[in-house]
Amino acid sequence: MPVTVTLVDHPLVADALARIRDRDTPNTLFRTNLERIGTLLLAEATKSLPTVEGTVETPITTASVRRLAVQPVIVPVLRAGLGFVHAAQELMPIADVGFIGIARDEDTFEPKPYVNRLPESLVGRPVIVIDPMLATGGSLVHTIALLTERHAPTPITVVCALAAPEGLQRLRDEGLDLHIVTGAIDDHLNEHAFIVPGLGDAGDRQFGAGV
């Protein structure tokens, strides 16, 4: 069960990353550029969604078309994952959205779950987890365990703006079957488990500290 990684090398991703990395970018512009990245990464992440063929009547004649075979389930990891939700719903307006809430224990850096709103069964439903930051990998390991309990098909797709090599290695060590789509793989985690160079706390920079 491999962890595969797609690094999206796109000028618009690079431009938006530059803006969200900048400590002087205000919250409103941070949210705007995070959504830009989300749209581009999600477009890449959904390239392999299954489709079915059909026909529609245009104003002129009959046209052959393809539609999604099944609507995926979008799972943002709260609270930072909210930054990708609008982009996901713009691209997949009738997809279901589940929510996983995980806080970080500032002493141990381990995840502290507080919300679980998922469909009871994910059989046959492609699942896309959205979370701007993949740091230690702890939150994602917890999230994938919940999705696996509900029989989510694999590989599960994960979309993040930034990833740390330590987090990617932890996912591999856990033996998870994942496809990671990201805009950048940064250098390392510091002693506080923040990504370096990173962009700070993605939740705080969207919504304000302590919210």
Q: Which are the catalytic amino acids? A: 104, 108, 201, 204
What is the DSSP track for 98-149?
-EEEEEE-TTT--EEEEEEE--S--TT--EEEE-SEESSSHHHHHHHHHHHH
Q: Which phi and psi (to 5°) does residue 170 adopt?
A: -60, -40
3-state secondary structure of 180: strand
Q: Which of the 8 DSSP states describes residue 154?
A: S
Q: Which of the 8 DSSP states describes residue 176?
A: -
Can you give the C-alpha Rg of the chain in angstroms? 18
Q: Please give the single-letter amino acid code of residue 71.
A: Q
